[in-house]
Amino acid sequence: MNADKKVKILATLGPAINGIDDIRQLVESGVNLFRLNFSHGEHADHAQRYQWVREVEQRLNTPIGILMDLQGPKLRVGPFADGKVNLERGQAFRLDLDSTPGNAQRVSLPHPEIIEALQPGMNLLLDDGRLRLQVTAKHSDAIDTQVIAGGELSDRKGVNVPEAVLQLSPLTEKDRRDLTFGLELGVDWVALSFVQRPEDILEARELIQGKAFIMAKIEKPSAVQQIEAIAQLCDAIMVARGDLGVEVPAENVPRIQKDIIRTCRQLGKPVVVATQMLESMRFSPAPTRAEVTDVANAVAEGSDALMLSAETASGDYPLEAVQMMSKIIRQVESGPDFQAQLDVSRPQAEATASDAISCAIRRISSILPVAALVNYTESGASSLRASRERPKTPILSLTPNLHTARRLTVAWGIYSVVNPRLHEVEEVTSTALDIAQAQGMAQPGDTVVITAGVPFGQPGSTNSLRIETLQ
């Protein structure tokens, strides 16, 4: 087991990954879970990649998580008669429900929910924020705007509405078809795009019916404002900095990222930082110094996982990107101030036996030379509470549930072994010591801390802690 880094790596699969051997190399280089991006590719492509990951999981005998990322609503203007127009600063421009091809004075906006939500004075962003319009008047079937930042606008460019909450479900008909397919495949996580409010999580959970865990992508200002309520309802959060950076001023994104990480850690919910982390490695075997610093900062801030997007999906150097990210993570985690920074930002514990034990094992691992923290868990909840404490020592999670082990691949510092034959506390102790040694996490003479629950095997009952020495 390669447990020498605590921050996990989520890698996107795509055309750059050509088979089982490629995936195995990525896992051996540090990838812990994979993303299937349903904004691209056919169902057959995703099914093939899913099978490749499961084959590697079996060969390496290590749990590997699979996340399906739903596309969500895509808001776009209609076509232009000449394919494109140039909008000048200060000019008037109308967006309406008329499907007639547009010109320099107007274009179709086939989204009545946008027209309904906008009010005079609000801003409208086009083409990933390159053009900015301000609403001057609202009609039942159109909005009039003034161009604040102009430029070329071509067919079907994207629309962002940062100042309004749209009466729009995050799940389109395409998403619902994709979700049915992904759940039938057996994905472990569902990443939900276009989350605006807590109710969006409830809608998704009703459809998923416990068949997968939910990761909310935070890319809308309204979601940032309600981040605590959203995080409480979902199983993990993704800081989707690409779309978020369009809808909020770019200079605000680092602060928002820190705030979201802090909130998720307090709630004990895994948080993934995503988008453009090693973007230049799509075409270069080496990253820029700024990208290295960005990755290092996300590690130092306490992220559970970092995501590679086009770098591994369609880039020229997918393996090198993973190797570089692993190197940066290990370098930061081995720094003299890393653990001290995490301890300073330690969240407030709740008045539960599980949190008391989690705090205790963090403290014990800072006093004794503990080789591994071994936690028996049915649902993964107690391992997540231990991870929340960010202990100095890696967490070996023993579970009889493969679904739980795959869930935990996104969580900081947790490495899982599936063992269905655990029944009694004494058996857990001997088995824990044997597995810790077999996985290379402890050697004879090392100290191991073991946590479990009595009565044994009851979810949510973690209430015992043992300190053992491996003989």
Token pair recorded at residue 31: 């990838």
Return the closest-CA partner of residue 13 out of 328, 241, 281, 311: 311
Sheet holding 92-96, edge to edge: 106-108, 92-96, 142-149, 131-138, 123-126, 159-160
Are 155 and 185 spatial neighbours (Cβ–Cβ below 8 Å)?
Answer: no
Please, are residues 218 and 274 in contact by the beta-carbon 8 Å criterion?
A: no
SS3 (DSSP) at 340? helix
Angle in degrees, 0-180, between the axes of helices 173-185 and 198-208, rounded to the nearest 10:
50
Catalytic residues: 35, 76, 217, 275
What tokens does 78 get? 């209609």
Apex 181 CA angle, 41 and 25, nearest 5: 55
**Peptide linkage before 455 cis (omega within 30 of 0):** yes
Residues 310, 16 contacting (CB under 8 angstroms): no
* 3-state secondary structure string across 390-458: CCCCCEEEEECCHHHHHHHHHCCCEEEEECCCCCCHHHHHHHHHHHHHHCCCCCCCCEEEEEEECCCCC
